[in-house]
Structure 1
Amino acid sequence: MDKPRTRGPSLEKTQETRHKILDAALQHFIQEGFARSKISDIAKHAELGKGTIYSYFETKEQLFEGVIDAFMNESFRPIKAHEIQDDESVYDFICKKIVPSVLTLESTGRADMALLILREGKNFPSILQTYCNKIFLPIQHELQQLVELAIQRQELPAHINPKSFALLIVSPMWMGMIHNHILNSNEVLQLDQLFKENLKLLFQS
């Protein structure tokens, strides 16, 4: 006699479970760091069985990658050089596209994850590579293209090195995060203001 067919979880239920896992993992990675985080503790935080998490993510490294992907889908929209309009300056375009993301950098947990990479990336090359490949390098690539365009349009001097200049554009965000969370948490810097002031100086120099 054939066994009755059992219906698997609905897509909505699957997405809800995945969201619970990623949310719990994000909070746990931020609070405990990557090295100290355990799948069993994340499962408890998510109110799920440990096996449920492993059915979605085979390793803790894959779970970390899932958290990064969630950032990309939910709270982070990387700048895209091809979206600039012909009548729009590179300076104005960068301000328009990046400042809103800077405003949510700390509230979404992206700053905490960046700091986690600074602290633990050397000991866990896989999470460092994930962060670089999915967030850091794509942003740098797009900014470098924009700097090259600004040079072509004579918005920036021809002697500028686009790769180095692209790094200078995002450097206030890294310095601001390190200042606010490590160096001097009693005197919090506004990252958006720091970013805008630096960008203005770069394009006016």
Structure 2
Amino acid sequence: MLFSLFDYLRNKSTVTTPANEKPLTDTEDDLKKRISFLSGFMVAFKEQIHTDIKLEPNDGPSISAHKSLLAARSEIFKNILSSDNYKAPPSNTDTITLPELNTEELKSLLEFLYTGDLPEDKFKRHVFTLYVAADKYEILYLQESCERYMMNSLNESNALDILEISDSHPNKKLKDTTLNFIVRNMKSIVSSQKYEVFASSNPHLSVEITRAFVDARI
């Protein structure tokens, strides 16, 4: 399962006390209250409270968000919003275009930026696109979350896709894990029709798979 905000807070929630006393830890009720408090960011987004920037996907109307949150989550967004074009008082026309994302992908990206998490079904549908966006906009926690999801869901039907994305957006840990999986399931993966298409468009990765297979047999 994905590492949730609740898990993070539960692991981190120790209150410092005098040296002669035992540390106090938050109760589950305390953690729920803290999560509810932090969820105010998502409420502000859903109810469009004091939004001051629009994000435009490649297939539909723009979605309003908050400059301060975008800048806090992404160094790239921070640099964009610090440019002269966005330093003037906010207007209804302040827009950032994200041509690599469709509407559903953009909504999932924003949900993650506001909450630090996504339902598993959204990760399943959008993990590759979100991983690429996280790399482009330097959203490290999202990139790590996508990496973790891909490694946990690695199977014979998606291994080649994960290998390809780990190569085009370099990630040694993800690539090595995927290569090892492919080598262990070499016969079924390489004999598939999908591999023929993959090999024609990624000859260098086909060579890497062959070398990894040979090395594993030595």
TM-score by length of 2: 0.25
Structure 1 or 2, whichever has the larger Rg, is 2
Which structure ranks higher in relative contact order (CA pairs < 8 Å, sequence separation ≥ 6)? 1
The structure richer in strand per residue is: 2
> Which of the two has greater helix per residue?
1
TM-score relative to the length of structure 1: 0.26
